Protein backbone atom coordinates (compact mmCIF):
# COMPACT_ATOMS: atom_id res chain seq x y z
CA UNK A 1 0.00 0.00 0.00
CA UNK A 2 2.82 2.41 0.86
CA UNK A 3 4.53 1.64 -2.44
CA UNK A 4 1.31 2.34 -4.36
CA UNK A 5 0.85 5.66 -2.60
CA UNK A 6 4.42 6.68 -3.40
CA UNK A 7 3.94 5.79 -7.08
CA UNK A 8 0.67 7.75 -7.28
CA UNK A 9 2.38 10.73 -5.67
CA UNK A 10 5.18 10.64 -8.24
CA UNK A 11 2.73 10.37 -11.14
CA UNK A 12 0.70 13.29 -9.81
CA UNK A 13 3.85 15.40 -9.46
CA UNK A 14 4.85 14.58 -13.03
CA UNK A 15 1.46 15.61 -14.39
CA UNK A 16 1.22 18.83 -12.44
CA UNK A 17 4.79 20.04 -12.92
CA UNK A 18 5.03 23.84 -13.15
CA UNK A 19 1.49 24.39 -14.34
CA UNK A 20 -1.34 26.50 -13.03
CA UNK A 21 -1.50 25.78 -9.33
CA UNK A 22 2.13 25.64 -8.32
CA UNK A 23 2.77 29.27 -9.24
CA UNK A 24 -0.84 30.35 -9.10
CA UNK A 25 -1.71 33.59 -7.39
CA UNK A 26 -4.85 35.64 -7.26
CA UNK A 27 -4.09 37.79 -10.27
CA UNK A 28 -6.24 40.88 -10.50
CA UNK A 29 -8.22 39.69 -13.52
CA UNK A 30 -10.47 42.76 -13.37
CA UNK A 31 -7.61 44.82 -14.78
CA UNK A 32 -7.17 42.66 -17.88
CA UNK A 33 -7.61 44.67 -21.08
CA UNK A 34 -9.42 43.93 -24.31
CA UNK A 35 -11.69 41.14 -25.50
CA UNK A 36 -11.11 37.56 -26.65
CA UNK A 37 -12.89 35.91 -29.57
CA UNK A 38 -13.05 32.13 -29.50
CA UNK A 39 -15.35 29.15 -30.03
CA UNK A 40 -18.00 28.68 -27.31
CA UNK A 41 -16.26 26.69 -24.54
CA UNK A 42 -19.30 24.58 -23.56
CA UNK A 43 -22.45 23.13 -25.09
CA UNK A 44 -24.38 24.93 -22.37
CA UNK A 45 -23.42 28.19 -24.04
CA UNK A 46 -24.10 26.87 -27.54
CA UNK A 47 -26.06 23.64 -27.97
CA UNK A 48 -24.16 22.49 -31.05
CA UNK A 49 -20.91 24.35 -30.42
CA UNK A 50 -21.82 26.92 -33.05
CA UNK A 51 -21.18 30.64 -33.08
CA UNK A 52 -18.37 32.65 -31.52
CA UNK A 53 -17.85 33.69 -27.91
CA UNK A 54 -16.87 37.31 -27.32
CA UNK A 55 -15.25 37.06 -23.91
CA UNK A 56 -14.32 40.11 -21.83
CA UNK A 57 -11.80 38.77 -19.28
CA UNK A 58 -11.79 41.93 -17.13
CA UNK A 59 -15.51 41.49 -16.51
CA UNK A 60 -15.62 37.68 -16.86
CA UNK A 61 -18.42 38.26 -19.37
CA UNK A 62 -19.37 36.01 -22.30
CA UNK A 63 -21.48 37.06 -25.29
CA UNK A 64 -22.45 34.64 -28.08
CA UNK A 65 -22.58 35.91 -31.67
CA UNK A 66 -23.37 34.17 -34.98
CA UNK A 67 -25.29 31.56 -33.00
CA UNK A 68 -26.34 29.42 -35.96
CA UNK A 69 -23.01 29.45 -37.78
CA UNK A 70 -20.43 26.66 -37.71
CA UNK A 71 -17.50 29.07 -37.51
CA UNK A 72 -13.94 28.77 -36.21
CA UNK A 73 -10.36 30.15 -36.39
CA UNK A 74 -11.51 33.75 -35.61
CA UNK A 75 -9.13 36.71 -35.84
CA UNK A 76 -9.83 40.39 -35.14
CA UNK A 77 -8.77 43.24 -37.34
CA UNK A 78 -6.80 46.03 -35.65
CA UNK A 79 -9.74 48.05 -34.31
CA UNK A 80 -11.85 44.97 -33.45
CA UNK A 81 -14.63 46.08 -35.80
CA UNK A 82 -14.37 42.95 -37.95
CA UNK A 83 -13.53 39.27 -37.58
CA UNK A 84 -12.13 37.01 -40.28
CA UNK A 85 -12.74 33.30 -39.77
CA UNK A 86 -13.45 29.94 -41.39
CA UNK A 87 -17.03 28.75 -41.89
CA UNK A 88 -17.43 25.19 -43.12
CA UNK A 89 -14.19 25.61 -45.08
CA UNK A 90 -14.98 29.03 -46.57
CA UNK A 91 -13.21 32.23 -45.54
CA UNK A 92 -15.73 34.70 -44.14
CA UNK A 93 -15.64 38.18 -42.64
CA UNK A 94 -18.03 39.42 -39.99
CA UNK A 95 -18.71 43.13 -39.49
CA UNK A 96 -19.54 43.48 -35.79
CA UNK A 97 -20.86 47.03 -36.04
CA UNK A 98 -23.28 46.32 -38.87
CA UNK A 99 -23.93 42.64 -38.03
CA UNK A 100 -23.07 41.51 -41.56
CA UNK A 101 -21.43 38.19 -42.42
CA UNK A 102 -20.01 37.85 -45.93
CA UNK A 103 -18.02 35.19 -47.73
CA UNK A 104 -14.63 36.29 -49.05
CA UNK A 105 -13.38 33.03 -50.56
CA UNK A 106 -15.29 29.81 -51.12
CA UNK A 107 -13.62 26.44 -50.73
CA UNK A 108 -13.85 23.62 -53.25
CA UNK A 109 -12.39 20.16 -53.78
CA UNK A 110 -8.97 21.68 -54.52
CA UNK A 111 -8.79 24.06 -51.54
CA UNK A 112 -8.29 23.61 -47.82
CA UNK A 113 -7.91 27.00 -46.18
CA UNK A 114 -5.89 27.24 -42.94
CA UNK A 115 -4.62 30.00 -40.62
CA UNK A 116 -6.57 32.91 -42.04
CA UNK A 117 -5.44 36.30 -40.69
CA UNK A 118 -5.56 40.01 -41.40
CA UNK A 119 -2.35 41.46 -42.85
CA UNK A 120 -1.37 44.54 -40.75
CA UNK A 121 -1.54 47.91 -42.51
CA UNK A 122 -3.06 46.34 -45.61
CA UNK A 123 -6.52 45.79 -47.04
CA UNK A 124 -5.58 42.11 -47.26
CA UNK A 125 -6.05 38.81 -45.50
CA UNK A 126 -3.62 35.91 -45.66
CA UNK A 127 -4.15 32.17 -45.54
CA UNK A 128 -2.48 28.85 -46.26
CA UNK A 129 -3.70 26.43 -48.90
CA UNK A 130 -1.83 23.30 -49.97
CA UNK A 131 1.29 24.33 -48.00
CA UNK A 132 1.42 27.71 -49.73
CA UNK A 133 0.81 31.12 -48.19
CA UNK A 134 -1.35 33.56 -50.15
CA UNK A 135 -2.62 37.10 -49.61
CA UNK A 136 -6.06 38.16 -50.79
CA UNK A 137 -6.77 41.83 -51.39
CA UNK A 138 -10.35 42.39 -50.25
CA UNK A 139 -11.23 45.48 -52.42
CA UNK A 140 -9.76 44.10 -55.67
CA UNK A 141 -10.48 40.42 -54.91
CA UNK A 142 -7.03 39.49 -56.20
CA UNK A 143 -5.18 36.52 -54.67
CA UNK A 144 -1.36 36.52 -54.76
CA UNK A 145 1.03 33.68 -53.94
CA UNK A 146 3.74 34.62 -51.41
CA UNK A 147 5.83 31.56 -50.49
CA UNK A 148 5.72 27.96 -49.29
CA UNK A 149 4.55 27.66 -45.66
CA UNK A 150 2.94 24.62 -44.05
CA UNK A 151 2.55 25.80 -40.44
CA UNK A 152 0.99 28.63 -38.46
CA UNK A 153 2.61 32.05 -38.91
CA UNK A 154 2.47 35.56 -37.47
CA UNK A 155 2.81 38.95 -39.17
CA UNK A 156 5.01 41.74 -37.89
CA UNK A 157 3.16 44.92 -36.94
CA UNK A 158 4.19 46.67 -40.18
CA UNK A 159 3.04 43.77 -42.39
CA UNK A 160 6.40 43.59 -44.18
CA UNK A 161 7.58 40.31 -42.62
CA UNK A 162 6.14 37.26 -40.94
CA UNK A 163 7.57 34.45 -38.81
CA UNK A 164 6.83 30.75 -39.14
CA UNK A 165 8.44 27.41 -38.40
CA UNK A 166 9.56 24.46 -40.48
CA UNK A 167 11.09 21.27 -39.07
CA UNK A 168 11.59 22.80 -35.61
CA UNK A 169 13.32 25.88 -37.00
CA UNK A 170 11.84 29.39 -36.74
CA UNK A 171 12.25 31.65 -39.79
CA UNK A 172 11.50 35.27 -40.68
CA UNK A 173 10.27 35.85 -44.22
CA UNK A 174 10.53 39.30 -45.82
CA UNK A 175 7.67 39.87 -48.24
CA UNK A 176 9.43 42.68 -50.15
CA UNK A 177 12.71 40.97 -51.05
CA UNK A 178 11.51 37.34 -50.59
CA UNK A 179 14.37 36.58 -48.20
CA UNK A 180 14.02 33.82 -45.60
CA UNK A 181 16.16 34.25 -42.47
CA UNK A 182 16.61 31.44 -39.89
CA UNK A 183 16.23 32.68 -36.29
CA UNK A 184 16.34 29.85 -33.72
CA UNK A 185 15.08 26.37 -32.88
CA UNK A 186 11.39 26.04 -32.02
CA UNK A 187 7.99 26.10 -33.65
CA UNK A 188 4.66 27.97 -33.86
CA UNK A 189 6.17 31.45 -33.18
CA UNK A 190 3.96 34.44 -32.30
CA UNK A 191 4.90 38.12 -32.09
CA UNK A 192 3.73 40.32 -29.25
CA UNK A 193 1.64 43.29 -30.38
CA UNK A 194 4.58 45.70 -30.03
CA UNK A 195 6.95 43.17 -31.65
CA UNK A 196 9.30 43.35 -28.63
CA UNK A 197 8.67 39.73 -27.64
CA UNK A 198 8.35 36.37 -29.35
CA UNK A 199 6.45 33.38 -27.99
CA UNK A 200 7.17 29.91 -29.35
CA UNK A 201 7.10 26.23 -28.40
CA UNK A 202 10.12 24.09 -27.60
CA UNK A 203 7.88 21.03 -27.56
CA UNK A 204 4.16 20.45 -27.13
CA UNK A 205 4.27 21.38 -23.43
CA UNK A 206 7.01 24.03 -23.12
CA UNK A 207 6.25 27.63 -24.09
CA UNK A 208 9.01 30.23 -24.28
CA UNK A 209 8.68 34.02 -24.35
CA UNK A 210 11.82 35.74 -25.65
CA UNK A 211 12.58 39.45 -25.42
CA UNK A 212 14.01 40.23 -28.84
CA UNK A 213 16.47 43.01 -27.91
CA UNK A 214 17.98 41.28 -24.87
CA UNK A 215 17.38 37.56 -25.62
CA UNK A 216 15.98 37.22 -22.09
CA UNK A 217 13.62 34.24 -21.84
CA UNK A 218 10.72 33.07 -19.66
CA UNK A 219 9.41 29.48 -19.65
CA UNK A 220 5.98 27.94 -19.02
CA UNK A 221 5.51 24.15 -18.69
CA UNK A 222 2.44 21.95 -18.89
CA UNK A 223 1.35 18.68 -20.51
CA UNK A 224 0.24 20.01 -23.87
CA UNK A 225 -0.33 23.48 -25.31
CA UNK A 226 -2.65 24.09 -28.27
CA UNK A 227 -2.87 27.83 -28.89
CA UNK A 228 -1.57 31.04 -27.29
CA UNK A 229 -1.53 34.76 -27.85
CA UNK A 230 -0.32 37.91 -26.09
CA UNK A 231 -2.67 40.25 -24.24
CA UNK A 232 -3.25 43.65 -25.92
CA UNK A 233 -0.76 45.29 -23.53
CA UNK A 234 1.77 42.42 -23.94
CA UNK A 235 1.91 41.85 -20.17
CA UNK A 236 0.38 38.38 -20.33
CA UNK A 237 0.02 35.36 -22.57
CA UNK A 238 -3.29 33.49 -22.80
CA UNK A 239 -2.62 29.76 -23.20
CA UNK A 240 -5.08 27.08 -24.25
CA UNK A 241 -3.87 23.80 -22.76
CA UNK A 242 -4.92 20.35 -21.60
CA UNK A 243 -6.90 20.38 -18.37
CA UNK A 244 -4.88 19.94 -15.18
CA UNK A 245 -7.66 17.77 -13.74
CA UNK A 246 -6.85 14.10 -13.26
CA UNK A 247 -7.63 12.00 -16.38
CA UNK A 248 -9.62 14.84 -17.99
CA UNK A 249 -9.62 15.23 -21.78
CA UNK A 250 -11.03 18.76 -21.60
CA UNK A 251 -9.07 21.99 -22.06
CA UNK A 252 -8.48 25.18 -20.11
CA UNK A 253 -7.61 28.77 -20.92
CA UNK A 254 -5.07 30.19 -18.50
CA UNK A 255 -3.35 33.54 -18.24
CA UNK A 256 0.41 33.62 -17.73
CA UNK A 257 2.10 36.65 -16.19
CA UNK A 258 5.39 35.64 -17.75
CA UNK A 259 7.63 38.31 -16.24
CA UNK A 260 6.54 37.41 -12.71
CA UNK A 261 6.27 33.67 -13.31
CA UNK A 262 2.63 33.54 -12.20
CA UNK A 263 -0.47 32.04 -13.79
CA UNK A 264 -4.19 31.77 -13.17
CA UNK A 265 -7.34 30.47 -14.81
CA UNK A 266 -9.32 32.50 -17.31
CA UNK A 267 -11.66 29.67 -18.33
CA UNK A 268 -11.24 26.54 -16.22
CA UNK A 269 -13.37 24.29 -18.46
CA UNK A 270 -13.38 24.08 -22.26
CA UNK A 271 -15.14 21.00 -23.54
CA UNK A 272 -12.98 18.63 -25.55
CA UNK A 273 -13.72 19.25 -29.22
CA UNK A 274 -14.66 22.91 -28.70
CA UNK A 275 -11.14 24.26 -28.34
CA UNK A 276 -9.40 26.04 -31.20
CA UNK A 277 -7.51 29.11 -32.28
CA UNK A 278 -8.54 32.40 -30.65
CA UNK A 279 -7.56 36.05 -30.66
CA UNK A 280 -7.16 38.74 -27.97
CA UNK A 281 -7.26 42.41 -28.89
Q: What is the DSSP letter of 119?
A: P
**Helix, strand or coil, per DSSP, at residue 11:** helix
Digit-coded pLDDT (tens) for 234-266 = 999 999 999 998 889 999 999 999 999 999 999
Asked whether the predicted pLDDT for residue 2 surpasses 50, the reply is no
* pLDDT-derived band at 12, boundaries 50, 70, 90: very low
Q: Which residues are CB-neighbours of 30 under 8 A, at least 6 positions away?
A: 58, 59
* pLDDT-derived band at 3, boundaries 50, 70, 90: very low
Looking at residue 27, what is its pLDDT? 79
Q: What is the mean pLDDT of the chain?
A: 91
Digit-coded pLDDT (tens) for 56-82 = 999 999 999 999 999 999 999 999 999
Q: What percent of the chain has pLDDT over 70?
A: 91
Looking at residue 206, what is its pLDDT? 98
pTM: 0.89
**Helix, strand or coil, per DSSP, at residue 39:** coil
A 10 A CB-CB count for 124 gives 20
Looking at residue 110, what is its pLDDT? 86
The structural domains of the chain, ordered by start, are 1-29+192-281 (no CATH), 70-189 (2.120.10.30)
Digit-coded pLDDT (tens) for 42-63 = 988 887 889 999 999 999 999 9
Q: Which residues are CB-neighbours of 209 under 8 A, at least 6 positions away?
A: 197, 198, 199, 217, 218, 220, 237, 258
- 3 versus 39: which is more confidently predicted? 39
Looking at residue 16, what is its pLDDT? 28
Amino acid sequence: MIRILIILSLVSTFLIGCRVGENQIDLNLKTLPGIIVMRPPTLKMSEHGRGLDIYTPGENKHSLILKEQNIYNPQFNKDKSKIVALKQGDIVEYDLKNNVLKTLLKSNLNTSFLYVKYVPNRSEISFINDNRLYVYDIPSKITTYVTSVSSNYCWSEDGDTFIFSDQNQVYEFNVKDKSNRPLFKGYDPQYSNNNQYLAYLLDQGILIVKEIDTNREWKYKTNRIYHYTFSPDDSYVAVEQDSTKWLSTDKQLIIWDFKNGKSDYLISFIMDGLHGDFDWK
